[in-house]
Amino acid sequence: MSDLPELTGPSFGPAAGGDPQQLVILLHGYGANGDDLIGLAPAFAQVLPNAEFLSPNAPYPCEANPFGGLQWFEVWQQEGVDRLAQVRNGTRIVDAFIDAELAKRGLSDDKLVLIGFSQGTMLSLHVGMRRKAPCAGILGYSGRLESPETLAGEITAKPPVLMIHGEEDPMLAVDLMDKAAETLRENGVLVETHRCPGLGHGIDEDGIRLGAGFLTVHLTGG
């Protein structure tokens, strides 16, 4: 029996009914929960009617938001806190969740896309680059690369990546997206980036439109 916490959270679809042909897993940001991103599913389901969307809740309470806020790992380095160990723990948890959910549906990694926001983007990239097989793609909003110095020695998969970031993000500067893309490209990953003018730490209609296009190309070949 695994010692890892089991993840639960809201789901959506497939909009067309029947068994899912693709799986989209959405990883929320620091201090949020699975409800925060599942609202994207109806928009993305317009181009992926046969996909099932899962938005698991992170397993740990967030002290910065005690009213239902959750976290995958600590955001700030603190005395007595090994952040990289926490990131790797979160990676193990999400990795096991992915394996279990794909197996339940009889799907393989090439039918999977990871979508993240903020801390969820960091974790999506950390997980996706270290799986045994590449997923169909990683769509990351308002995030960065966690512990970039570890990537070259640990990368085992190179899924395509689209990163989208608000130019006015006060929490994670847009330059962090550019640095992440540079490091990923240095390691042979195909990366596209998009800056959203005037946008802070969030997702706008332009980001949803671009994300839907990315999902269409990499999950349906459209």
For residues 187-209, give the mean pLDDT: 97
Continuous segment of H or E residues that includes residue 176: helix 175-186
Give me 102's structure tokens: 């794909």
* pLDDT tens sequence across 66-102: 777 999 988 765 666 678 889 999 999 999 999 999 9
3-class SS of residue 167:
coil
pLDDT score, position 45: 98
22 to each of 10, 166, 221, how far by Cα in Å? 17, 28, 12
Report how far apart the first and last C-alpha atoms of the chain are (Å, whole number).
Answer: 41
Listed by start position, the domains of the chain span 11-220
Closest CA to 37 of 20, 24, 21: 24
State the pTM of this model: 0.95
- Cα–Cα dist 16/89, whole Å: 36
Q: With pLDDT > 70 as the criterion, what percentage of the chain qualifies?
A: 95
pLDDT, tens digit, 9 for 90 and up, residues 151-177: 999 999 999 999 999 999 999 999 999
Could you tell me the CATH superfamily of domain 11-220? Alpha/Beta hydrolase fold, catalytic domain (3.40.50.1820)
- Give yes or no for residue 203 having a pLDDT over 70: yes
The string over 18-30, giving b where at least 16 C-beta atoms fall within 10 Å of a residue's C-beta and e elsewhere, is: eebbbbbbbbbbb
Q: Which are the contacts of 129, defined by CB distance < 8 A and separation ≥ 6?
A: 151, 154, 155, 156, 157, 158, 159, 184, 187, 189
Percent of the chain residues past pLDDT 90, beyond the cut: 86
Nearest Cα neighbor of 116 from 127, 132, 101 is: 127
- Mean residue pLDDT of the chain comes to 94
Determine contact, residues 62/30, Cβ cutoff 8 Å.
yes
pLDDT confidence of 1, banded at 50, 70, 90? very low
